[in-house]
Amino acid sequence: MTSDDHRSTEADHPSQPDALRHYRSDIEDLDRRILHLVCGRLDLAKQIGRLKSRTRAPLRNFEVEAEVHRRFADGCSTLGIDQSVGHDLALFLIQKSVEEQASFLDAVWDGDHLRCLVIGGKGGMGRWITRFLQSQGHEVTVYDTDPTPSPVPTVDDLATAAGQAELILVATPMSVCGDLLETLAALHVTAVIAEMCSFKGHLLQRMERLRQEGLHLVSIHPLFGPDATMLSERTIVLCTEGSTSDRALVRRLFDSTSAKLVELDIAEHDRRMGLVLGLTHLSNLAFARALSHSDIDADALAMLAGVTFQKQMATTHEVCRENPSLYYQIQAFNPGTTQAVEWLVQAIEEFAEAVRQERPATFEALMLEGRDYLGGESTA
């Protein structure tokens, strides 16, 4: 080979760093094109959302969503790539489209706009309900003793603000809600009042007395956190206590949204919340506490984490980052906490005893009973 031939070969075959830069540049261009295409798709989703909000069409159309999945699956087969890529892309695009459309449906309000007062409007759920009411066009003010600035108009005179309001949302801690309701009753407030406590049984007798004294009081419970950006696949409990007309006004706030509305009396609400909130929180807090008793730090465990551990840690991490005062109150005001603790300890002891006694059949039976309760089928 001549020196000229050698130089020609080098020119035809760039060095590895040059090749990497070339490929990465091509990927960068493709990323920009993909992003533009996604933006175009979401713009179309917004237009569909506007149309659905005008025609009151349902947010989710599962036949259309199934067609999107089929379309991506067929495309993957044609292109010869793993169908899981198409499945994940379809899920992502459907979810983002639903979020875009939900913002239109969740903002629908077909009546006169209300003068609303949110008590505790600077807290987590107070901020959420404030944003929600504003999105529907209602006039919203906030009363909160927290000195933190708020982007929403705030008031210092509760008596005047409550007297002018047509709807009052109470988003205060459970420990002070009862006394606040007494204060509103003493002010002879005529507005409909909706309290948002996670547990309500400790207020039940007091609320019934206040209603008999003329307070227009109802109970609701949004089953999600303050970071929720849409109501699709979210649940809001509307308790059955209170007058039909008062409950109807509050229900109208959510009737045209994408939320799932569930009606329960307070006793049944608290019974279910004892497990849905109370036991769930206890299980995750206990998991974190158990890990902390070991001499292995969390980062070292994460290095070896499998899928199950990663999922559990993600949920536990979210729980442990929540407001400790709120989570204490969820246990303290939960009438089922004692029973939930007993069940949790019993369940752990049953599995531990099966291992100590070297009884694999007992362990398997316990595991299958849990699977049957959850509606799953054995993979054996």
DSSP secondary structure string for all residues of 194-245: EE--S--GGGHHHHHHHHHTT-EEEEEEE-S-TT----TT-EEEEES-S-HH
Within-domain flag for 17: yes
Answer whether 66's CB lies under 8 Å from 92's CB. Answer: no
pLDDT at 37: 94
State the residue range of the domain holding 326: 270-373
User: Same domain, yes or no, for 232 and 214?
Assistant: yes
Higher-pLDDT residue of 253, 112: 253
The CATH number for 84's domain is 1.20.59.10
Q: What is the pLDDT of residue 256?
A: 81
Question: How far, rounded to the nearest angstrom, does the alpha carbon of residue 300 sit from its chain's CA centroid?
Answer: 30
Task: Please report which confidence band the pLDDT of residue 379 belongs to, taking 50, 70 and 90 as the band edges.
Answer: low
Task: Return the SS3 of 143.
Answer: strand
Q: Are both 329 and 253 inside the same structural domain?
A: no
- pLDDT digits over 158-192, tens only? 999 999 999 999 999 999 999 999 999 999 999 99
Tens of pLDDT, residues 276-308: 999 999 999 999 999 999 989 999 998 888 899
Structure-token pair, residue 159: 């008596």
In order, the DSSP letters of 146-192 are: --S--SS-B-S-HHHHHHH-SEEEE---HHHHHHHHHHHHHTT--SE
What confidence score (pLDDT) does residue 355 get?
A: 96
Is it the case that residue 108 has pLDDT exceeding 50? Answer: yes
Is residue 380 a part of any domain in this protein?
Answer: no
Domain count, the chain: 3
Contact 50, 104 (CB under 8 A): yes
3-state secondary structure of 60: coil
pLDDT tier for residue 17 given thresholds of 50, 70 and 90? confident
Shared-domain flag, residues 125 and 165: yes
Per-residue confidence band for 62, with pLDDT thresholds at 50, 70 and 90: confident
Pair (125, 196) in one structural domain? yes
In a domain, 333, yes or no: yes
> Is the domain of 121 the same as that of 88?
no
pLDDT reading at 378 higher than 60: no
pLDDT surpassing 90 at residue 316: yes
Handedness of CA 197, 199, 202, 203 (dihedral sign): positive
d(CA 371, CA 378): 7
Let me know whether 357 and 230 are in one domain.
no
CATH number where 288 lies: 1.10.3660
Whether residue 31 is found in the same domain as residue 139: no
**Residues sharing a CB contact under 8 Å with residue 233, sequence separation 6 or more, in sequence order:** 258, 260
Determine, yes or no, domain membership for 110: no
Asked if residue 195 is part of any domain, the answer here is yes
